[in-house]
Structure 1
Amino acid sequence: MLTWQLWCALLFVSWFYFLWTRRRFYLLTLKIPGPQGYPIIGMAHKLLRRENVLKEFGFYLDKHGPTIFSWLGPIPFMIVSDPQIIQDIFTSPHCINKGIIYKAVDDGAGLGLFSLTDPRWSVHRKLLNPAFGHKVLLSFLPIFNNETKALLKLFDTLVDDGEKDLIPYLQYFTLGIATQTTMGSDVKLDGGINNNRLLEDYQCVLESMTDMCFSPWLSSKTVRQLFGKEERYSSAKSEIRGFIRKLIERKLARDAEIAENGNPSPLEKNIFLNLATDLLKRGIFSWKNVEDESNVIVFGAFETTANTVAYTLILLSMFPKYQEKAFEEILALFPDPGDFEVTYADTQEMVYLDLILNESMRVIPPVPVVSRQTSQDVLLSSGVVVPKGVQIAIDIFHLHRSKKIWGEGAETFDPEHFLPHHYQNKHPYAFIPFTKGIRNCIGWRYAMISAKITLAKLLRNYKFSTSFKFEDLYFVEDITIKLKTVPLLTLQRRT
């Protein structure tokens, strides 16, 4: 009779043989180069520290080419920075689902548009699309303008007061915009909500979700408790959920009043929370659907917009000649300093600011890497068939910095990359700050309009500078991109 030790040894050998033959099958089938790593763990050990993820991706892409294949433990995965292969993936009906790495988002933010699987994602996306229609976005302009007026007053206190980290100020500002435009409530008017604490809660949850993405064992509540990470994370989630629930309940109470006194305007009906609660009343959404989708949409609306504005200001501080060009364009539209009303027509006149925003998102993409997985075999335009169950990392960061696409100046900041004669012949998927294809970002137009209005007012009223050097920027992989060290900026008043 076999001893239990021998049984364990046989099971291990069988499992090892299964993994080896599976690897062999993928290698022979895909014929895509890449690092194979070690037996059992693959190259998982290279990605444990997210500070190194983008650096490691860049190293292997340089070594093996813009599409590589490897293993994360027993899981086959690809890293892609080739625009044509990215188009194949983003337009395939069999690559709609996000990668398994985003399971952490379900735990932290809820099961919403960000991570829902198809066909539920397609249903929710179709139902919620009206919340980001053009006419609805135009109705948000008074909010964008009014909140930026308040931001100017805040920035006035920072003038000639040394170097400052502007990101917390901008997050506070964009959170106020996000809750008004998507949830219909101004959190600043609610005395029961501590905005600084709320921002800390959101950052805690984001940090914890990212930890779980790159260290899957932290997905276990027991393991988080062992590492002392559970109590704060659980508390932050609870606070955010309570905040979102309060906004929903307030909205339902207002609906009851409106039912007695009259109907809302068509535009009000299309505000995100109005759509979601209407779907709840019709039995299409559950309460959890409303809560999850609301949580995800607020998170996405304020976090990426704050970072985009902040990183643009940082880059313009490092490259003052482009800041001056932007100032001249804005000065021609708004000759008087202080607060002013920016219309949608004004935003269309800010051509050079468009170049700057695009270049900022090229150099520092809001989301550096996104993940998909194949639900069926997928035929790529290269002739390769990617089997069902492969995880795919779309490396936007290195796509945007490819010298083959953007030339020798690919890794520096130069808005002229987006002049028509430079950009018009680029592959349509060479620049994808909000992704593209079937599952593109629902709020990309919202983010662009909000960012342009904010930047127009800030650049008209202040000159930004920094002692931090561009070449010293170190980018950290996160659900949204982060800087290892955030450059501090000095503000001087424009006249």
Structure 2
Amino acid sequence: MKLKLGVEQIVLGDQQHINEICDEKRFHKVPGGALTAIRALTGDGLFTAYDSEMNWWVAHRLLVPAFGPIALRHMFDDMLDISSQMVLKWDRLGPEHEIECADDLTRLAFDTIGLCAFSYRFNEFYTDNAHPFAQQMADVLAESGRRVSRPGFVNDWVYRSSEQKRQENVKKMHELCDQIVTDRKKNPQPENKDLLNTMLNSVDKETGERLSDENIRFQMATFLVAGHETTSSTLSFTYYNLLKNPETLLKAQRQVDEVVGDNVLELQHLPKLTYLDACIKESLRLDSPITRWSVCPRQDTALQGKYEVKKDIQLVSNLKALHHDPTVWGDDHDEFKPERMLRSNFEKLPPHSWKPFGNGMRSCIGRGFAEQEMLINIALVLQRFQLQLADPTYKLELKSTLTIKPWNFRIKALRRAGKSLMVGIPGGVPAEVAKKHEQQHEQVQAAGASSAASLSIFFGGNTGTCEALAEDLRTKLADHGLNASIASLDTLTEHVPDQPTVIICSSYEGLPPDNAKKFVAWLEDTSSKKDFLKSVKFAVYGVGSSDWASTFHRIPKLVRGLMKKAGAEQIVDIGLSDVKSDLFGPWEDWVDQLIQALVESTGARILDILEETAIALPFSAYVDMLPALTPRQYSIASSSLEPSNNPQHKPHADIVSLCFDVHTSPALSGHGSFFGVTSTYLASRRIGDRVSCFVRLTNVGFRLPGSVETPVIMFAAGTGIAPMRAFLQEKAAIAKAGARKLGPAILFFGCRHPEKDFIYRNQLLEWEQQGVVKVVLAFSKGDTGPRYVQDAIWEHREEVAKMFVDGGKIYLCGSAARLAKSAAEVCKKVWCEKNGKSMGEAEQWLQSVKTDRYISDVY
């Protein structure tokens, strides 16, 4: 469709054409429409600047790292703080209070960006009326949207007073931004890693320039506008879609229960909330708050090779049409189906089919910020509340300003049964404890800084993530008395140090990042020299995005291979992170391995040193050096329905059974033995001894089905038999009572040797004779039969498949790294065989049943 309304525009609405204009070599962004109007507020800020404005380039280079994965990690606690304020407010207002969803979510998003970006609290949840800045912003956005729909002379003559009011609001908003900057300059916070400090103190490495005070003002206004408007709209749409689709809401809530339970939400929970993430993405598809973005050709061109387009013509992407293109989304494109956004499906979409965050270099740099904030909020709300529409007959109404959002959308929030007022709310740390910890940390860092570097860290990356990881590693190494230097990877060229060397690197479309090009080229030229790096010990960590599947982690793997080829010795195997799923989980695991390898090169611990040397160390100092003990969790291996466990027929059993492995091994120091703390403690208890313990509720889903006739499939290895024994003891008690007929049950149990560690042997075989369960064994050191649980499952796949089709549930307990992974793979393989599908589709199936029919308890 071609329009000429002042500026000639061509509106595109299908994936084929929008995919073409996403080519940044041929097209560039042109802020148009309402974006032009709000330049009075945001000027040449990132959102509304033109490509020709140099401030955009400087700000982009400085601020992209400020929204990278490491920076977002530091913002997690502040985001959790603001969402906690919101859920407590909802809870205290009671289940009959009607919540104006868009209003409270706007307060949430506005408070969050203010605190995370500028360490400024607007305190929106502590006042009845919106903060003056928020109201001024709403008025400016509304009037800016109206101005672009009216002819210029009408704005100049008929709506002159409206424009004066708009400019007054802009002035007041700029004054507040300036005041925040002035306060920070008067009271510097050098330890603060927020966006404001980045803008005030950072220098662009390419030009040597800083951001001007004017541009900082524009950037602050930009982030306050873009950081709250789209997020609040998306959250409103997501809650609306969940409430209109109760079965989807139930799935989302079950995932929160499975991942978080009643615990305080933590950063490592977020990558596991895959279904919530899919709900957000699907809501963005159905109703994107940003309805369009525009580009212009860099030169005269032809779309699809046949539609001539001049250089100055705006090409407008109609996101509503794109996100409902039936050739991409099917005939059910108007339906809310988060499953299509689960990763296995999302990756199969044609390129540029889903574009709510814009495109390429000019896409929203706050995408990760918004996604993290929204996941936190939805998780906290679903953990605590049962939601319902205030008006069950409500149909979606839209309000349009800079974005679109639901209008008159009200909900009620009822606290779920069994949930306390403070469930999921993070507790505080006493100030004196926090201060003591900080002082100890500073002393360790100071001690490390006083000596020469014992390890070198080199980073290569364009967005700041690898450099931030390098800083994180240096801090962790200092905690272990290891001092490290940091430099860009290009400085390693021709100067590989004679000490442990850590390389943290990314790829950029399969090529080295800008600050690693020289090193990679040099390494490629010299790696053929035999034993050229023989004396070097190194470790490589790679960061990448699975969006670039064909070049995923290419450069880190190349560097690792070339250094090994040149004779260098790996300290630990290469570590890899995918920023699209979980950057920090693999990173933390890899750092632990690296530090352990470095420390184990001496094999010494503080107790070893005290035993072998004469050091006058106060006992209190020794205790401070020890890592804090954390509670060890064991699954109860018995049922309260078994009469011998509950002779008085109380609501809870008098006797519980535990199943655990007593861990012993040679000490790393080479002297004596190492004994597992908790297992050794329990093994040393005698009849009549008291045990320090507490009982926690298990995973909501890890319980026998409500109906005893439901088929039960169990996978267990080693002490993972514990909950399965409890299940079987309960089923045996029900069978003995004779009141109800049991459904079929099968147990796949793996251990090493049938004569040495076949635990609960007599009971399991007895229950099998009674018809309670079929037991299938796998002995890794046995002479016959399958060696591992996954092998046994495959041999009995016909039976397992039939039980599952008949409504059966799968329960798994064992090692996350071994049994959980291998059992999942064989189950996907069985599903593929039965359904004629691919492994990618099998992964989607597995994810879809994990909330209620494939339940794991792993360690």
Residue of structure 2 aligned with 1:143, choices 69, 75, 78: 78
Query: Which of residues 71, 83, 100 in structure 1 aligns to 2:4?
Result: 71
Conservation of the 8 A alpha-carbon contact between 1:380 and 1:386: yes
What is the deviation of 1:254? 2.2
Tell me what 2:425 maps to. none
Mark the runs of 5 or more structure 1 residues left unpaired by the alignment. 1-67
Q: 1:451 aligns with which of 354, 374, 399?
A: 374
TM-score, normalised relative to structure 2? 0.45
> What does residue 477 of structure 2 align with?
none
- Does 2:279 match 1:373? no
Query: Which residue type is aligned with residue 66 of structure 2?
Result: A
What is the alpha-carbon distance in structure 1 between the residues aligned to residue 253 and residue 127 of structure 2?
A: 40
Alignment CA distance shift 1:193-1:170 (3 Å): closer
* Per-residue deviation, 1:298: 1.6
Does the CA-based 8 Å contact 1:315-1:470 persist in structure 2? no
* 1:463-478 mapped onto 2 (5 Å cutoff): 463-466=386-389, 472-475=395-398, 478=401
User: Which piece of structure 1 moves more, 279-288 or 295-304?
Assistant: 279-288
Matched, 1:286 2:221: no
Whether the aligned pair in 1 keeps the contact of 2:47 and 2:222 (CA below 8 Å) is yes
Aligned in 2, Cα 1:333/1:99: closer, same or farther, shift over 3 Å?
closer
Q: How far apart, CA to CA, are the structure 2 residues paired with 1:488 and 1:189?
A: 19
In terms of fraction of residues, the more helix-rich structure is: 1
Deviation string, structure 1 residues 165-214 (Cα, Å, up to 9, x no partner): 12211211221111111112223399999743332211101101111222
2:91 alignment partner in structure 1: 156
Q: Partners of 1:280 and 1:190 in 2: how far apart?
A: 36
In structure 2, the residue matched to 1:27 is: none
Give the letter aligned to residue 465 of structure 1: Q
Q: Corresponding residue for 1:41?
A: none
More moved, 377-386 vs 173-182: 377-386
Which residue number corresponds to residue 22 of structure 1? none
Higher relative contact order (CA 8 A, sep 6+): 1
Q: Is the alpha carbon distance of 1:424 and 1:334 closer, same or farther for their aligned partners in structure 2, counting shifts above 3 Å?
A: closer
Structure 2 counterpart of 1:247, one-letter code: I
Matches within 5 A, 1:320-359: 320-336=246-262, 340-359=263-282
Please state if 1:295 is matched with 2:221. yes
For residues 401 and 218 of structure 1, do their structure 2 counterparts lie closer, same or farther at Cα, with a shift above 3 Å needed?
farther
Please, which moves more after superposition, 406-415 or 275-284? 275-284
Paired residues for 1:5-404 under 5 Å: 68-73=1-6, 75-101=7-33, 102-120=35-53, 121-188=56-123, 195-217=130-152, 220=155, 222-225=157-160, 228-255=161-188, 263-264=190-191, 268-269=192-193, 271-278=194-201, 284-336=210-262, 340-404=263-327
Provide closer, same or farther for how the CA distance between residues 488 and 148 of structure 1 changes in structure 2, counting only shifts above 3 A. Answer: same
SS of aligned partner of 2:10: strand
Q: Which amino acid aligns with 1:96?
A: H
| 2:282–2:338 CA contact under 8 A, matched in 1 | yes
Cα drift, residue 107 of structure 1 = 1.7
Please tell me whether the aligned partners of residues 147 and 177 of structure 1 are also in contact (alpha carbons under 8 angstroms): yes
Partners of 1:198 and 1:208 lie apart in 2 by 15
Q: Which residue of 2 aligns with 1:492?
A: 414
Aligned to 2:437: none
Cα distance in 2 between the residues matched to 1:107 and 1:480: 18
> Shift of the alpha carbon at 1:243?
1.7
Structure 2 spans left out of the alignment, 5+ residues: 418-859
**In structure 2, C-alpha distance between the alignment counterparts of 1:388 and 1:301, rounded to whole Å:** 32
CA contact (8 A) 1:245 1:291 kept: yes
Q: Which has the higher strand share?
A: 2
Q: Could you say what the CA RMSD is over the residues aligned between the two structures, in angstroms?
A: 2.8
Aligned to 1:71, what secondary structure does the other structure show?
strand
Matched residue of 2:123: which SS? helix
| Superposition TM-score, scaled by structure 1 size | 0.76
Q: Distance in 2 between matches of 1:422 and 1:349?
A: 17
Rounded Cα–Cα distance in structure 2 between residues aligned with 1:434 and 1:155: 30
1:245 and 1:428, CA in 2 relative to 1: closer, same or farther beyond 3 A? same
Q: CA, structure 1 residues 413+205, in 2 after alignment: closer, same or farther (shift >3 Å)?
A: same
Provide closer, same or farther for how the CA distance between residues 275 and 378 of structure 1 changes in structure 2, counting only shifts above 3 A: farther
* Count of residue pairs brought into register by the alignment: 411
Amino acid at match of 2:176: F
Equivalence map 1:391-430=2 (5 Å): 391-420=314-343, 422-430=345-353
Please report how far the alpha carbon of residue 475 of structure 1 lies from its aligned counterpart in structure 2 after TM superposition: 4.1
